[in-house]
Structure 1
């Protein structure tokens, strides 16, 4: 019998939390909507969100699938995406781990939109050892001012939402197209980014 992994991030979805996708339709001025929509299905910006049960720890962790509500909580409250404690913050900003794409544009990752919440230092150290997407190709960044600007989610066609989602997109809250998206993750735009030495910060943290 296989045991559970030692580290399961707070934002990771569990197999017992999956529910059937509700019937998606459209409403005037609202855009995409659920046929049985209630007050908890939209955020304060009026964007529709994917549904999921709250049964953390039940079943098996579904790595690669993010729980929508826990991801929103971590991003809005600046919680560590792994342990849900406060993310680490210094004068340089909150701690983020990012896959290394420094060749994407000059000044990367400044102004990048990230769906990944920040981390505390101990969990950052664990993450670079066990997370396949970070192993050997990550950067540690301090972010002075992360701003919630939009969502990642499934885009539906305005003329026929019953056809189902056509693609995964990232969209700004001010973009009218957000009305046709069922969101699954918040995006934070990273302002004031500084590369840092994670190993040095971990060593200093242990010496305190």
Structure 2
């Protein structure tokens, strides 16, 4: 049986056909837009079909709505249940990039939701990227600070995609972003001491 994380998109969950248009305020929108197409900050989101566990899991793709839900509600990215939290903070399982800067992952912008204790060994066994090196981290403060998505410039007929990046909600360009993931900033990070989890590397 294939173990697919809760946030993984499935082959039956393709992007919906939505026409992008320019809005009078300089932002982008859909030609036929619903209130649910935007988040509480007014940012436009990519619309993807909801057919969870239909077809085959596509591990390289994350489903925008489930990622957003997991981030907003602090759900485990693997099982979709509540993430683990204690007095030291919320539990995150991250690729090991401690060489990126002193104190990593303090201040890191993460699009990966947290995890629960039971799913740590599952993720370590099933994710090739984590097998190359992973750390468990407790995070005391993890505010939602923005989105990851594609920014669009003005085109001849319709807005034209430029590049994907992270954008803070205070960025004046965020109104031209088609979001696909929420971003939390990890603050107050410390090592998560887990017993009985083989292969984990300490932060």
Q: Do these two structures clear the TM 0.5 threshold for a shared fold by scoring above it?
A: yes
How many angstroms does 1:54 deviate by?
Answer: 1.2
Give yes or no for contact 2:22–2:28 (8 Å, CA) kept in 1: yes
Q: Distance in 1 between matches of 2:66 and 2:100?
A: 29
Give yes or no for contact 1:32–1:158 (8 Å, CA) kept in 2: no
Correspondence for 2:41 among 17, 25, 45: 45
Q: Distance in 2 between matches of 1:100 and 1:160?
A: 43
Secondary structure in 2 matching 1:194 = strand
Correspondence for 2:117 among 117, 121, 124: 121
How many angstroms does 1:159 deviate by?
Answer: 5.6
Query: What TM-score results when the alignment is normalised by the length of structure 1?
Result: 0.90
Q: Distance in 2 between matches of 1:180 and 1:101?
A: 31
Give yes or no for contact 1:146–1:191 (8 Å, CA) kept in 2: yes
Aligned counterpart, 1:146: 142
Structure 2 stretches of 5 or more lacking a match? 199-203
Count of residue pairs brought into register by the alignment: 198
Cα deviations by residue, 1:33-82 (Å, 9 ceiling, x for unpaired): 11111111000100000001111011111111111111111001000011
Q: Distance in 1 between matches of 2:191 and 2:167?
A: 26
Q: Distance in 2 between matches of 1:176 and 1:155?
A: 12
4+ runs deviating over 4 angstroms: none
Structure 1 stretches of 5 or more lacking a match? 204-208
Secondary structure in 1 matching 2:131 = coil
Q: Distance in 2 between matches of 1:96 and 1:193?
A: 10
Q: Distance in 2 between matches of 1:161 and 1:145?
A: 43
Q: Distance in 2 between matches of 1:22 and 1:108?
A: 39
Aligned counterpart, 2:161: 165
Q: Distance in 2 between matches of 1:31 and 1:130?
A: 40
